[in-house]
Structure 1
Amino acid sequence: MWTALVAAILFEVAATLSLRASEGFRKRIWIIPVTIGYLASFYLLWLTLRLGMHVGVAYGVWTACGVAMVAIAARFLFREPLTWLMGLGIALIVAGVLTIEMTGAAG
């Protein structure tokens, strides 16, 4: 279950970074990894839910990890800003997801 979710996150991050690299699809070759990445990500997210993970936990972890990983990767790949305030926001997202995970596991 967690393996499928981690894979879904990685495919979503790769697809989103490919979307950025496409420069608004002016570089059409990037349509391929964008399409494959998002399709694989949604399939793996569906599989995670089918295997029994609660949707609030799965979606929370999927989106939060995706946001954090894309922000950090974009800093290095595309030289996009990553300020201390953005870092604080990422930390708050992680804290929120951990809270959801811990309460979801208890319920």
Structure 2
Amino acid sequence: MAWIYLVLAGLFEIGWAIGLKYTEGFTRLFPSLFTVLSMFVSVVLLGLALKTLPVGTGYAVWTGIGTVGTALLGIYLLGEPATVARLACIGLIVAGILGLKMAT
């Protein structure tokens, strides 16, 4: 169950990271509310996951999911560059996440 909490926490981290772009410095109400709610849910789910997972593994996987998801959505939604080097680095992060999952 801890891994399910962790994956969900990572997905909510993506939500708030992308949401920050749409808040325009927290000047827009609904994107700001969504972003703050996503931050809260993400941290609560991370806390639940860390009840049984090692903190180093949990935190690294949480930030990795958030990093990969945010980078990919930045490419898809915001027109950020999708260079070979950037995609290769995202692949390395995914490999690290999988390695941590298999090692735990």
TM-score (norm 2): 0.88
Shift of residue 22, structure 1, vs aligned partner: 1.5
Shift of residue 72, structure 1, vs aligned partner: 0.6
Residue 35 of structure 2 corresponds to residue 34 of structure 1: yes
**Matched residue type, 1:27:** R
> 8 Å contact 2:16–2:35 — kept in the other structure?
yes
TM-score (norm 1): 0.86
In structure 2, the partner of 1:25 is 26
Residue 51 of structure 2 corresponds to residue 55 of structure 1: no
> 8 Å contact 1:56–1:100 — kept in the other structure?
no
**Matched residue type, 2:4:** T
Q: 1:26 to 1:81 in 2, by over 3 A?
A: farther
> 8 Å contact 1:9–1:62 — kept in the other structure?
yes
Residue 96 of structure 2 corresponds to residue 96 of structure 1: yes
**Matched residue type, 2:75:** R
Identical pairs, percent: 35
The superposition leaves residues 58-78 of structure 1 with CA deviations (integer Å, 9 ceiling, x where unpaired) of 111111111111111111111
2:3 and 2:55 mapped to 1: Cα distance?
13
In structure 2, the partner of 1:44 is 45
**Matched residue type, 2:14:** V
Shift of residue 46, structure 1, vs aligned partner: 0.3
Q: Which runs of 5+ in 1 are unaligned?
A: none
**Matched residue type, 1:77:** L
